[in-house]
Amino acid sequence: MSEINGNYGGRITGWGIALGSETITNDDLASRMDTSNEWILERTGIKERRIGGSTAGLAVQAGQDALEMAGCKAEDIDLLILATTTPDDQIPATSGMVQHELGLTCGAMDLNAACSGFVYSLVTGFGFLKLGYKRVLIIGSETLSRVTDWEDRSTAILFGDGAGAVVIEAEEGNGCLLGWNLGCEGSLRDILYAEVGGKIIMAGKEVFRKAVIAMTDSAKSSIAAAGLSSNDISYVIPHQANIRIIESAMKRLGIAENRAVSVLQKTGNTSSASIPIALFKALNDGRVKSGDILLLVGFGAGMTSASAIIQWSESNE
Ligand code: UT7
């Protein structure tokens, strides 16, 4: 049943992740190309990354755990949104395979906003709750190892494979989404792209510079939309591309660095999966308490940016 009801917000009731099966350390990469553990660690913060699996396969694993935690049966889900920039096929959308494997009976679609894809999908999902859906499954899943040029040391050191999923459920009232912002600067396509069937090409320094600005601007817009200030933010769940990008953005936002959640040391950059994987870590290690304000913020090829302010509540636990 999907009767439009603008009085419904939503809350996150389940979450799960999956990571590529094989661990590749910096030393493994150094044995194959002209790089070193020291350089990668110092310039990016990454120690190792996980690769392997398919985008659909990782999404199914993460999705299954999120459904189980939310106490949902497959038929309870009204919509699947799969954020991915590495679909398994050109046609059809990977979400169809995920829908089938999870036994869902609802509509399913892919959403490609590169590394901002999960937050784009989350905001879209909350919109559908306002349109009358009761439960939406949102997954970010990527197999970037398939589009990485393993001969190119400037990109091969960065990326990994993984997935993260959440179930959001409608509830009367405003729900947990207090503010959000979606952006895109399409003129910046050439600084980070992969042609159909091709590998990632990136102007690293330029992406770095733009990323810090895009993340900071988007975060500020969301914080303002929520009627809050930087001081109100309990934890930042940023896109996991480079620890130096996260540190620079935190400085610009005036939020203490120890408020940023990071997983990139063990995962590398998993694009649209990185924010839900970091969210999973923050929720599972018990640091997030009822009433805490979370800022989810990402940037990516496009060049896209996205952020969302989520207020955690007892009823999320
Ligand atoms: O989801 C969004 C995806 N992308 C990003 O967020 C990436 C944003 N950019 C970055 O994270 C950084 O720009 C990189 C990590 C990619 C590169 O770090 P950097 O500090 O900007 O290094 P650089 O490109 O300026 O290169 C500095 C030096 C160069 O040597 P010379 O010209 O100074 O002799 C590079 O050739 O480091 C060299 N270099 C490396 N050396 C060892 C580049 N990659 C490597 C490497 N190992 N893997």
pLDDT tens for 70-109 read 999 999 999 999 999 999 999 999 999 999 999 999 999 9
- For 41-70, write each residue's pLDDT tens digit: 999 999 999 999 999 999 999 999 999 999
Q: Is 166 in a helix, a strand, or coil?
A: strand
Identify the sign of the CA torsion 294, 299, 300, 305.
Answer: positive
Tell whether ligand 1 has an atom less than 6 A from the beta carbon of residue 300: yes
Is residue 203 within 8 Å of residue 154, measured between CB atoms? no
Q: Which atom of ligand 1 is nearest to the CA of 202?
A: 4
Residue 7: which pLDDT band, with cuts at 50, 70 and 90?
Answer: confident
Question: Nearest residue CA, atom 36 of ligand 1?
Answer: 154
* 162-195 burial: b if 16+ Cβ within 10 Å, else e: bbbbbbbbbbeeebbbbbbbbbbeeebeebbebe
Is 90 exceeded by the pLDDT of residue 317?
no
- The half-sphere exposure of 199 on its side-chain side, counting CA atoms within 13 A, is 11
Residue 32 CB less than 6 A away from ligand 1 = no
Q: Is 52 in the pocket of ligand 1 (CB under 6 A)?
A: no
What pTM was computed for the model? 0.97
Any atom of ligand 1 within 6 Å of the Cβ of 157: yes
Catalytic residues: 115, 239, 269
For the chain, which domains are there?
Answer: 8-172 (3.40.47.10), 177-316 (3.40.47.10)
Query: Per the structure block, which two tokens stand in for 94?
Result: 């990977």
From the centroid of its chain, how far is CA 267?
13
| Pairing outcome for strands 135-143 and 79-83 | parallel
**Average model confidence (pLDDT) for the chain?**
96
- Residue 43 Cα to ligand 1 midpoint, Å, equals 7
pLDDT for residue 308 is more than 60: yes
CA gap 309, 303 in Å, rounded: 21
Quick check: CB of 39 below 6 Å from ligand 1? yes
Cα 208 to ligand 1 centroid, rounded to whole Å: 10
Q: Is the pLDDT of residue 1 over 90?
A: no
